[in-house]
Amino acid sequence: MPLTRCLALVGVTVALAVGLTAQAQNPRDRYSPGPEAFTTRVVATGLGNPWEVTWGPDGFLWVTERTGFRVTRINPADGTSHVALTVTDVYQSVDQDGLLGLALHPDLLKDRGRDFVYIAYVYDADPGAAVVRNLRVRRYTYDAGHQTLQAPTDLLDRMPAHDDHGGGRLVYGPDGMLYLSRGDQGSNFLANYCIPNRSQDLPTAAEVQARDWSTYQGKILRLALDGSIPADNPTLNGVRSHVYTSGHRNPQGLVFAPDGLFYAAEHGPSSDDEVNLIAKGKNYGWPNVAGFRDDLGYVYANWSASAPAPCRSLTFDNLNPPPTVPRALESAWQHPDFVAPLVTFFTVPADYDFARLRTATIAPSGIDLYTATAIPGWNRSLLLTGMRSGALYRVKLAPDGRAVAGQPLSYFKTTNRYRDIAISPDGRRIFVSTDDHGVTQDAQAQRTARLANPGAILEFTYVPPAAGGR
């Protein structure tokens, strides 16, 4: 996409110019707040890491509690909550496992016999004392009389999971299919630095036949509503599987536009969080490319291939891998299906000082698309959470939805980790869920773990300019 690439380069050029005239700083600290005014209200607190929040057809917010193992319906008017389901076989011991995604069937509460609710969660596949994390997608049927989820039906399980980068977002597509994001499990990074990254690996025909989903890491998957492989899924390396797109790191935001365009957000490594336009069969570059294929701020260092010193003999250092670890420039990797992001948070100059200025990411999780007209100028804007920056970002899209228009703006700055977003149908209220622990930054852009509203749902209500223009 030459235009997108051009816009991104303009952004980099502006950043470089600013860097020359002002003291170098983390681009996370430089973003422009949007001009609109909002009031803030705490809707609910005491939730166990609310992970997905979505507006339901009953006017309630449907929430998954990652560490509470509950699907909870919250009345946005008064914060009262109703537990629709407690999942009894969730496995959770770290920050990226537990009960994750939730998707509502569009016929929910429409008297069509399809009151289906889908969840994605981590479970322990080992019957004994050992723990083998796997991910499962399960369907429930909502019983409106009892306000509970009933009749569990497992759709797809035995998908690999681990202790880092779990993805786990689940959405119902306009084509009547389920889409599920899978992270790269943190392979080739931190404690998992000696595990090869499999974001580029695709299943073989024999693996699909054996229902061996071990390559479903760093992917976006497309499932039929019974969990099977749709007949029109892409054929990649000669094999059709659930894999819809590959080359992802940790996508935790998925959203469809009314016209069918499909967007995802994912965490970058030390820079280059991405917002991507997702298309069938495409490759989003990880771990060979982070953000654009520009050789800026990222080189793929494959720790597991260290020789002659074996990986296990090395101490992980993200910024300075030892010479025995093979390194490959982004520009050395070519793939005919590679797609560059629409926008990054953030692409940094080649000489960016990570050690001094810290990682240049916002850590996005949930995203949503603003399709209302209540807030002037917001129609067709992507909203994404910044967990490490304690803000929400708005990315205005071009009229055709295939490029961004202008620079992202930031909103709702608090000392919280925003996990996910929901928008009221009239577009006047925006809800965010917050983690109950973790690191973000405060009003002075200082790193902190003292969160203002842990485990909460917050509401931001648009305040139109006063009539008469005062």
Question: Residue numbers of the site for Ca ion (CB under 5 A)?
Answer: 274, 284-285, 290-292, 294, 298
Contacts of 350 (CB under 8 A, 6+ apart): 295, 296, 297
Residue pair 428/374 in contact (Cβ under 8 Å)? The answer is yes
Cβ proximity to Ca ion, 119 vs 278, nearer residue: 278
To the nearest 10°, the Cα dihedral for 8, 10, 14, 15? 20
Least spacing, CB of residue 347 vs Ca ion, in Å: 7
Cβ proximity to Ca ion, 285 vs 390, nearer residue: 285
Instruction: List the beta bridge partners of residue 181.
Output: 220
Q: What is the sign, positive or negative, of the torsion defined by CA atoms of 245, 159, 86, 155?
A: positive
Burial of 444 (0-12, 13-18, 19+ CB in 10 A): exposed
DSSP structural state of residue 246: B
Q: φ, ψ for residue 461 (rounded to 5)? A: -110, 130
Least spacing, CB of residue 348 vs Ca ion, in Å: 9
Least spacing, CB of residue 290 vs Ca ion, in Å: 5
N-terminal to C-terminal alpha carbon distance within the chain: 43
Cβ proximity to Ca ion, 138 vs 248, nearer residue: 248
Amino acid at 134: N
Contacts of 150 (CB under 8 A, 6+ apart): 140, 141, 142, 143
Radius of gyration over every alpha carbon of the chain, rounded to an integer in angstroms: 22
Cβ proximity to Ca ion, 143 vs 353, nearer residue: 353
Amino acid at 55: W
Cβ proximity to Ca ion, 67 vs 250, nearer residue: 250
Cα gap 176→185, rounded to integer Å:
28
Cβ proximity to Ca ion, 295 vs 353, nearer residue: 295
Least spacing, CB of residue 299 vs Ca ion, in Å: 9
Amino acid at 203: P
Least spacing, CB of residue 324 vs Ca ion, in Å: 24
Q: Which of 165, 242, 248, 267 is catalytic?
A: 165
For residue 285, CA distances in Å to 274, 278, 282, 330, 347 come to 11, 12, 9, 9, 15
Least spacing, CB of residue 225 vs Ca ion, in Å: 29
Cα gap 124→132, rounded to integer Å:
5
Least spacing, CB of residue 249 vs Ca ion, in Å: 7
The arrangement of strands across the sheet holding 170-172 comes to 170-172, 178-182, 219-223, 243-245
Q: Is 437 a catalytic residue?
A: no
Q: Annotated active-site positions, please?
A: 165
